[in-house]
A and B are shown apart, each in its own frame.
Chain A
Amino acid sequence: MSIDISQFFKVFFDEAEELLAEMEKLLLAVDVAAPDAEDLNAIFRTAHSVKGGASTFGLNDMSEVTHILESLLDRIRRGEMALTAVHVDAFLAAKDILKMQLDGHRNGAAVDQDAVANVRMMLQELSADVAPMPPVQPAPAFVQTEVRASFAAGGRRFKIELPVVEQQDINALAAELGLLGRISVTPIDASRHALILTTHESLDDIIAICSFVLDPDELKIFEAPALTPEQRAIEDAARAAVEAELGYGFFDPLEPDEVTQEAVELSDDERGYGFFQPIEQIRAAAESVATAPASIAMPVAVRPEALDVSEVAAEKKAAARKDDKPAAGSDAGSIRVSIEKVDQLINLIGELVITQAMIEQRSDNLDPMLHQRLLGSISQLTRNTRDLQEAVMSIRMMPMDFVFSRFPRMVRDLAAKLGKKVDFITNGAATELDKGLIERIVDPLTHLVRNSIDHGIEMPATRIAAGKSESGRLFLSAAHQGGNIIIEVADDGGGLNRERILDKARQNGLAVSDSMTDADVWQLIFAPGFSTAETVTDVSGRGVGMDVVKRNIAAMGGTVDIRSARGFGTTISISLPLTLAILDGMSIRCGDEVYILPLGFVVESLQPASEDVKDIANRGRVVKVRGEYLPLVAMHQLFDIVPKFTAPSEGIIVILEVDGRKAALFIDELVGQQQVVVKNLESNYRKVSGISGATILGDGGVSLILDVPALLRATRMDEPALT
């Protein structure tokens, strides 16, 4: 049982998280000056869905915040309030609070109750200073608009007298009507009850809802004048007492202010006509709203046809509401699967690929004439396996949007903090990348984006002086290029300062010269402890960044490239392999052992002439390849192997390149080229220096994958061997 509930919780947490992310995205996209009604509706729906889920699971803190948020959003989307930048900020803050609360429920993360209270205050204040929007179209063609406008400031209060019905029907009805506004149940006599509803909804909606439970003809609906603040306070206190008893601490705070205004507005015309108005009068009032209130006093017979029309309208609305639902739950065509299941599937496919390779290997010696049909089937199996593998691998692929969607908010906040203006433009958010890489790219990208805003883009005044637009532009893009994904962070800011980087490099004791190429100079900023920022801000500039960025990306098998032009901006380009799980490898042999070299690092392989191999006293050997002297790394020395050949001219050297640096690896022979499934050594063992992972060969044996960047680092630091 408990397992079942926790499963539902997990689904809710996942969904709520998605909904909140969606809300943030919509909020950032919304045009404050002229908000699109559909956007506002979408934002409202996300808040509503979170609230629904939170209440279902009894997460009262979340449902309380969403309730205020939702009420406010509701009024904005109805045009009763104008959307302002202040609102958007408040909503974003509320979203953060909700996320915090969500994390609090999910992993017991700390929830800052002060912040929660602050945001609630902020939202409540916004709800308080209601600025009724003037009706968009003054033409009275559609009576409903007018009615709404006239009551825009608050809700209307209806008294619904029910016939004798079951208590459960009353409860059901009260719950339904409760969705429209505030509801309370009061007994009329021993067997009958009345519902008091305060709502912005029209009478027709109320009747439509009631008709699900009751025959509308049996209902008596009156419009009640609003309570005076004193009356309301008494009622509130009474309800608060009841609710406190029930365990709801929170009480909707929007009402008192509304009531004040409502009371003022209504007191003149409505107050004079008795405590409750009969339904017919309200309807008449609604239909002749432009005329004087005097007409309200005249009793008007119920006209069935008018009721029919309104019912049709109500049905249409209900239908429209149903249409909204699937849009909110958007991904009806997908299922949630735990990542373990996917990984298990990928492992199994890996096994299948190995088995298939094994069969292929063993069928190699068969006579093609005698076993033609068997060999035909095997080649078909090979094709099918590859297709299956590709299909399964694609499950792990996620769109870059998963990463990109975090940035608009960050850019916005950061730019505001620094007093800069930044237009943030993303491109290629649909580009897919392995989930494992997606998660690891977030931190480096965050750092680069922060850097671009902090150091790259200039202050508005500087930009104008330089003849640029006031707002800087920050591009974030992703694209596939061969087997790699290229992610670029580009800004149109000041660009890197060559002189300052060189100065700083000298200060840090790095070997530099003025004749270095730009590309080499830019690479200097990846050195540890390197920051050219004039002042250290809390955004960036502490010099613990770019080297970490570079290291993280290198750990993912990727590379970083910088292009920059003084005064025109900087582009940082990250190239990553699409997936970590499969690798194009070259199998090499040294002694009895077979290792895998990731093909991406291999430039070429050749057999050197003995005169091209030179010893440098105490510094190892170099090999001359096309006029270039490359450090020579002997595989057998590195891995303590008894080799077949000890002279490079007898074996093979493989030229490896990482980040523009090359080295030659001396091995016995090349075995072949194959796709390998990368297995982690660390899951059951530990990191082995010089080895990045392992794979399973066609014969079921294990082969280790060389960590080429580490091997090259070792040569650069003049370390004779790995330790």
Chain B
Amino acid sequence: MSMTSTSNLAASKDAEGEGREFLAFTLGSEEYGIDIHKVQEIRGYEQVTRIANAPAFIKGVINLRGIIIPVVDMRIKFKLGTPVYDQFTVVIILNIGGRVMGMVVDSVSDVTTLSADEIKPAPEMGDTGASFNAEFLMGLGIVGERMLILIDIDRLMSSSEMGLTEKIAA
């Protein structure tokens, strides 16, 4: 809880200052970035318990040191890459407003610091190749040859599209 609230502060402060840190990961051939403050840990993929009648991208729930957390596979959700599960499959554990959840991605590359002028506004059209709603895009991070698609992971995970929270279920 406390971690999240401070991270929001830090994020907004950093936005004006030297820059923000993003965790870069890949889905298929795309490279994405999310605010590092939302990331609790990164772990390997382990056996999940399926939840009946849930959308396919919700893989199920796992036991994260005594708490039960849902795991979503972004590759299925955004139809990117191939959903294979082996010892190299990575789960990013997010902590968003105190709620913990796992997100399966193809791989995690690094943590990149982007200064304000390296973050470009997202183009109007969905021509970034990202197969999800533009409202979850924060912009594009351009560093040399690399281009990171920056996702507002907070909004995405709390959205009705993901169906991870109660108000949508009700």
Interface residues of chain A, those whose CB is within 8 Å of chain B, are 347-348, 350-351, 593, 638-641, 679-691, 694, 696, 700-704, 722-723
Contact = CB atoms under 8 A, between A and B. Distances in A.
A690 B54 CA distance: 12
A247 B69 CA distance: 54
Contacts of A694: 49, 61, 68
Contacts of A702: 48-49, 60-63, 68
A679 B67 contact: yes
B109 to A, nearest CB: 26
A639 B53 contact: yes
17 contacts: A351-B66, A638-B52, A641-B52, A679-B67, A681-B68, A683-B99, A684-B67, A684-B70, A685-B68, A686-B169, A687-B169, A689-B53, A694-B68, A701-B63, A702-B49, A702-B62, A722-B52
Contacts of B66: 347-348, 350-351, 679, 696
Interface string B85-126: 000000000000001110000000000000000000000000
Contact of A686 (B50, B52, B53, B168): B168
Interface stretch (B4-12, B132-140, B159-167): B159-167
A680 B164 CA distance: 14
Contact of A684 (B49, B65, B99): B99
Contacts of B67: 679, 683-684
Chain A interface SS verdict (over half): loop
B47 interface: yes
Contacts of A689: 53
A246 B114 CA distance: 57
A468 to B, nearest CB: 48
B63 A686 contact: no
A722 B63 contact: no
Nearest to B96: A684
Q: How large, as a class, is the contact surface on chain B? A: 20 to 34
B49 A686 contact: no
B143 interface: no
Interface in B23-65: 47-54, 60-63, 65
A701 B47 CA distance: 8
Contact of A688 (B51, B65, B101): B51
B63 A700 contact: yes
Given A684-B70, A685-B61, A685-B68, A640 B51 contact: no
A699 to B, nearest CB: 9
Given A350-B66, A351-B66, A679-B68, A684 B53 contact: no
A703 B62 CA distance: 9
A204 B31 CA distance: 88
Nearest to B170: A687
Nearest to A695: B68
B40 to A, nearest CB: 12
A688 B70 CA distance: 12
B160 to A, nearest CB: 11
User: Which residue among A684, A687, A701 has the maximum number of chain B CB atoms within 10 Å of its CB?
Assistant: A684
A700 B68 CA distance: 11
B101 to A, nearest CB: 6
A707 B149 CA distance: 42
Nearest to B62: A702
User: Which residue among A348, A350, A686, A689 has the maximum number of chain B CB atoms within 10 Å of its CB?
Assistant: A686
A686 B47 contact: no
A640 B62 CA distance: 19
A686 B68 CA distance: 11
A686 B164 contact: yes
A685 B69 contact: yes
A704 B51 contact: yes
B69 A640 contact: no
A703 B49 contact: yes
A703 B166 CA distance: 20
Contacts of B62: 702
A134 to B, nearest CB: 64
A682 B65 CA distance: 17
Nearest to B71: A685
Contacts of A691: 51-52
A682 B168 CA distance: 12
Contacts of B52: 638-641, 688, 690-691, 722
